[in-house]
Structure 1
Amino acid sequence: MGINRKFFFDYVRLHLFDGALTQPQVRGLTAIIDKWEATMPGNDDRWLAYMLATTHYETGRTMQPVRETFAPTDDKAIAILDRAFNAGRLPWVSRPYWNKDAQGRTWLGRGLVQLTHEANYQKMTNETGIDLVSDPALAMDLKVAVDIMFIGMTKGSFTGKKLADFFAPGKGDWVNARKIINGLDKAALVGSYGKAYYAAISYTT
């Protein structure tokens, strides 16, 4: 049985979007649900809920692909990252991965989840069959970004952790599932979003 979309949108509008949804938010939510229903019928609905929750957090609830720093252009994002790096606010970064290469490509974060570094763009090129190395900006396309997220989170391509590690029969770890993306950063918050999305997609009558 498919998701009751009227209930879903009514529920998330009220509980996750302060009573109103924009058209870009609706398009993003719809693209994720469409992909789920077309390619993953019969799988654990908590996987879908956690992917929606991850998108909700990682995109600042725009539900659209975003650049790292939420900048409107690559150049603006690079400038923001440079300032932060030079001020010592990115201690985990040893080398600025966002600097443009000889072909003018930058490997800054893009998508529904933040795909960063050339090696990860190459990995997702191999996984998706989409040439993200020649044109990393393709990660800003909604369909491409959805494909990247589904593959990365179901196969464990981002960190080695995958959805099945945390959501399986007899197991439901909404907090530690954050390790699929980024350690335990904002883990409880993203988990709370996941539970709300799960409530929205679980209605079947």
Structure 2
Amino acid sequence: MTAHTDAPQEKESAGSCKFKRFLQWSSKPVQDLACTITFRPSKFWVGEYVLTIVGAGGGAWVGVDGRPRELVILATSALVGVIIGAVIAGMAIQTAGFDRTFLRNLKAANKNPIKYLRPFLFTASAGVSSAIAILVWSAIPPTASETANGIIGGLSGSLAMLTLASVFPALNTLVAFIPLLSASAEIKTEEK
């Protein structure tokens, strides 16, 4: 499991989370998103670490070498765009099942419905961060210093690969969600 799928039940509100003090410069929606995602690297799936490191190395190498730079920027930006679209579709599938009966059953089981959206929110956030890094990298001319190209290339590569690797936990959550939704439909509850 990954950090964004097996987080414990939150007793604190988004306004009191530990990310609040690190994000004082940002807007309230950004702070709330960071508090909802609950970024916990200690519980990442090992593939997220491996692919992030490989992406950083590959991006730095392309940034320093510079030969396949335009091709890598094009392919990476297309891949990140497809992943962001798939993540939005996954969130739409899940939120379509969040009817009153299902939410009432989750509340009776003391489960937070946000738990089922966390991996999608994390992947979408990583994808948007990756897209921003790729845009910055594409704006840096290939003739700029190798250091600048290597650093932003490594950042772009690591974020792109983190986006790719975090799709697996999101799919796992979607697969686990469907039987839960089915079981919830079988539970008889009184309508209020």
TM-score using structure 1 length: 0.23
Higher percent of residues as helix: 2
TM-score using structure 2 length: 0.24
Larger radius of gyration: 2
Instruction: For CA contacts below 8 A with separation 6 or more, give which structure has more relative contact order.
Output: 2
